[in-house]
Amino acid sequence: MRKVITYGTYDLLHYGHINLLQRAKELGDYLIVGITSEDFDRNRGKINVKQSLMERIEAVRALGIADEIIVEEYEGQKIDDIRRYNVSVFTVGSDWIGKFDYLREYCEVTYLDRTEGISSSDIRSENRKINIGLIGDDEYLIKFYRESQYVNGLKVVSLYKELADETKSEFKGVEYITNDYEEMLQHVDAVYIHSYPERHYELIKGALLAKKHVLCEAPLVIQAEQINEIESLAIQNNCILMTALRTAFSTAYMRLLLLLKSGVIGNIKSVEATCTSLKRKEFLDGGNLEGQWNSICEWGPTAMLPVFHILGIDYKQKIISSNLLKDHPRFDLFTKIDFLYTDAVASIKIGQGVKSEGHLIISGTKGYIYVPAPWWKTDYFEVRFENAEDSRRYFYQLDGEGIRYLLVAFCKAVESGKDPGYISNEISNEIVKVVNDFYLKKDLYEI
């Protein structure tokens, strides 16, 4: 029997796929179709797949062309499959020409002409067109703009700011660059905000009143009473209001949380997270601090994220120890916050005028998890035990510092009208509350 094998994602099955499968079947007597798993796609940078693995399998099965369907889960699996199933022909569409020539050592390799004018990416873009406007700091907006180009159906159409000519060239294709916020809001369905934290409230409120979805860096606001107001406004106006803490969307971080839930290190007794950056020279030499983020806003939300995700928000007590600038008491060179829970403790160390090892350590009664620096954009962590031989290492691909995944999640939320809950409202609110206490000097001790 002449067995043929072919692979693909088969998202939102279309006639290009059907054409390919029919011709693949004609190359032999028995057709095996390998359908990519979600993890495999994510690892190879295909982040927008709309249907689940089961839905994609069902759609291909329902065509009745495949004799057997398998799941493609890892790099290098094709060679294993060809040997295991005794395959005579490997085939894929002509978009892959040359890429699989290395399989000629194991079987025939045939590239079939791709059907012109259709692809899953096109269908995804048509289904979901979200026009977004960007507000804020150039450095972040440039990154954000670049990453947005990997996300189907999201288009940056507007920027709210005056741009220097050299920065403008970074935003080729953005139609409306304006310093009138109201005008910007008329052109967009959603906004991304990375402004000065004290301005977030009015920007978020303006967008929600105009019924625009909002993706905003944390802290969303710095006054505790403002958070409930904007959350209610988002609900009233059927808008998504999402915190843009990219770490929460990285695969390694999400897997780490799941692993902890499975009890792999026993009962958790301590979470320690450190985030520092010595970027802000102004902090140390007394330069202009206008428009700068202080350490609690820059790093506090990221460092608090694993604490609240892992131990929850019901701590009994907190102590904020802060080294404040003498002439600018709202600016902290360094801040350490200790959280006391009934049965555990947590501690975050953050700073822009101090340097330390940026790791995350979660200690439990059976072992601990170690995430090396910089843990907030990690693709790797280790679960360690007393007996070093039992330790396990975990690696997950991270593209674009997680911004891409954050954008995909935001698009899905806008499309479905439901926040995916990577960062719950309770956690967002607690982060704002702690930042607010810093400003109010509540539970704060100056060092």
Query: For residue 327, which phi and psi values (nearest 5 degrees)?
Result: -85, -15
Which is nearer to ligand CTP, 114 or 255 (by Cβ)?
114
Among 4, 5, 20, 260, binds ligand CTP (CB under 6 A): 20
43 scored as a contact of ligand CTP (CB under 6 A): no
Q: What angle do CA 156, 159, 160 make, to 5 degrees?
A: 150
Among 3, 4, 5, 8, binds ligand CTP (CB under 6 A): 8
Which is nearer to ligand CTP, 35 or 296 (by Cβ)?
35
Which is nearer to ligand CTP, 94 or 232 (by Cβ)?
94
Q: What angle do CA 82, 85, 86 make, to 5 degrees?
A: 70
Which is nearer to ligand CTP, 115 or 323 (by Cβ)?
115
Which is nearer to ligand CTP, 6 or 250 (by Cβ)?
6
Among 10, 192, 339, 341, binds ligand CTP (CB under 6 A): 10
Among 12-20, 68-76, 175-183, 379-387, the segment contacting ligand CTP (CB under 6 A) = 12-20
CA 94 vs CA 20, 35, 91, 98, 413: distances in Å: 10, 18, 9, 9, 34
Q: What is the smallest separation between the CB atom of 16 and ligand CTP, expressed in angstroms?
A: 3
Map the footprint of ligand CTP across residues 386-415, applying CB under 6 A: none
Q: What is the smallest separation between the CB atom of 66 and ligand CTP, expressed in angstroms?
A: 12
Q: What is the smallest separation between the CB atom of 206 and ligand CTP, expressed in angstroms?
A: 36
For residue 355, give the nearest of 326, 371, 333, 322 by alpha carbon: 333
Which is nearer to ligand CTP, 93 or 306 (by Cβ)?
93
**Minimal CB distance residue for ligand CTP:** 93
Q: What is the smallest separation between the CB atom of 84 and ligand CTP, expressed in angstroms?
A: 21
Which is nearer to ligand CTP, 93 or 358 (by Cβ)?
93
Q: What is the smallest separation between the CB atom of 41 and ligand CTP, expressed in angstroms?
A: 9
Map the footprint of ligand CTP across residues 49-108, applying CB under 6 A: 92-93, 95
Find out whether the peptide bond into 420 is cis, omega within 30 degrees of 0. no
Residues in the interface with ligand CTP (CB under 6 A) total 16
Q: 10 Å Cβ neighbour count for 399?
A: 18
Which is nearer to ligand CTP, 100 or 196 (by Cβ)?
100
Which is nearer to ligand CTP, 89 or 320 (by Cβ)?
89
Q: What is the smallest separation between the CB atom of 334 and ligand CTP, expressed in angstroms?
A: 46
Map the footprint of ligand CTP across residues 113-152, applying CB under 6 A: 114-115, 118-121
Tokens of 28: 């032999």
Map the footprint of ligand CTP across residues 297-336, applying CB under 6 A: none
Q: Which residues are registered as beta bridge partners of 446? A: 322
Which is nearer to ligand CTP, 91 or 436 (by Cβ)?
91
Instruction: Provide the CA 358 distance to its chain's centre, in angstroms.
Output: 19
Q: What is the smallest separation between the CB atom of 92 and ligand CTP, expressed in angstroms?
A: 4
Which is nearer to ligand CTP, 9 or 195 (by Cβ)?
9
Q: Which residues are registered as beta bridge partners of 367? A: 385
Among 13-21, 168-176, 179-187, 288-296, the segment contacting ligand CTP (CB under 6 A) = 13-21
d(CA 204, CA 202): 6
Q: What is the smallest separation between the CB atom of 79 and ligand CTP, expressed in angstroms?
A: 18
Among 6-14, 126-134, 252-260, 281-289, the segment contacting ligand CTP (CB under 6 A) = 6-14
Among 3, 4, 5, 16, binds ligand CTP (CB under 6 A): 16
CA 29 vs CA 6, 26, 74, 83: distances in Å: 14, 7, 26, 17
Q: What is the smallest separation between the CB atom of 39 and ligand CTP, expressed in angstroms?
A: 16
Q: What is the smallest separation between the CB atom of 14 and ligand CTP, expressed in angstroms?
A: 6
Which positions touch ligand CTP (CB under 6 A)?
A: 8-11, 16-17, 20, 92-93, 95, 114-115, 118-121
